[in-house]
Amino acid sequence: GNSVTQMEGPVTLSEEAFLTINCTYTATGYPSLFWYVQYPGEGLQLLLKATKADDKGSNKGFEATYRKETTSFHLEKGSVQVSDSAVYFCALIEGLGETSGSRLTFGEGTQLTVNP
Amino acid sequence: DVKVTQSSRYLVKRTGEKVFLECVQDMDHENMFWYRQDPGLGLRLIYFSYDVKMKEKGDIPEGYSVSREKKERFSLILESASTNQTSMYLCASSYQGSWDNQPQHFGDGTRLSIL
């Protein structure tokens, strides 16, 4: 079946450092890919998405490019802030076959801490 | 803005109790989902529903059931709570549109402790 693998955390950076969180996936078809973020005490929020190969999703200074050849969707940010401290989840979406709707498969999550 | 509301942020129950977790969404979404979140395991899908009175098992349905009597409400039921069901539970909803382009919207979660 489909699966998502993220780099192991936790990741600790200083403010203004460059961030990369690796994400690779296994899928039978052509999934759409997502990054979600979970701030402390909250649910998950959609950060960005890409629906086909070579698409680049971006939001709040974060970017990720859908690389079909390497089955990857790495998250990057050029200069992190303390407010970016959160857990980041990579996910892919697949159809439900005979049923309608969408189902997400998540990675394990990567805890990011940014120190001032 | 989409609002997904879970009835409790924190809940403490005893082993063997029947536990109800409620979730309500206000955007007329067709799809609703229940996940549990555990450290090192990410989010795992328990059950989902793509229409009123419809339900489908996710990856870890054992020990759980669900109810969707109205479109806006999706309930997760622990039939006889056990300590290994201590976890963070997250509800989500989404439109039933082009399946590969509809993000899920999440509630803030219920942290459930079974003693």
Report the pLDDT value the prediction gives residue B42, as an integer from 0 to 100.
85
Residues in chain A: 116
Contact across the interface for B100 and A43, Cβ inside 8 Å: no
Judged by a CB distance cut-off of 8 A, whether residue B30 touches chain A is yes
Q: Which residues contact B95 (CB under 8 A, 6 or more apart)?
A: B27, B29, B30, B31, B102
Report the pLDDT value the prediction gives residue B103, as an integer from 0 to 100.
77
pLDDT band at B98 (very low <50, low <70, confident <90, very high): low
Report the pLDDT value the prediction gives residue A100, as an integer from 0 to 100.
46
Report the pLDDT value the prediction gives residue A98, as an integer from 0 to 100.
43
pLDDT tens, B21-56? 999 999 898 889 999 999 888 889 999 998 898 899
Q: Which segments within chain A are labelled E, that is strand? A: 3-6, 11-14, 19-21, 23-26, 32-38, 44-50, 56-59, 62-65, 75-77, 86-96, 99-106, 110-115
Nearest Cα of chain A lies from the Cα of B29 at a distance, in angstroms, of 10
Distance in angstroms (rounded) separating the CA atoms of residues A8 and A21: 9
Report the pLDDT value the prediction gives residue B9, as an integer from 0 to 100.
93
pLDDT band at B60 (very low <50, low <70, confident <90, very high): very high
Q: Coil, strand or helix: which one is B85? A: helix
- Number of Cβ atoms within 10 Å of the Cβ of A13: 16
Contact across the interface for B100 and A42, Cβ inside 8 Å: no
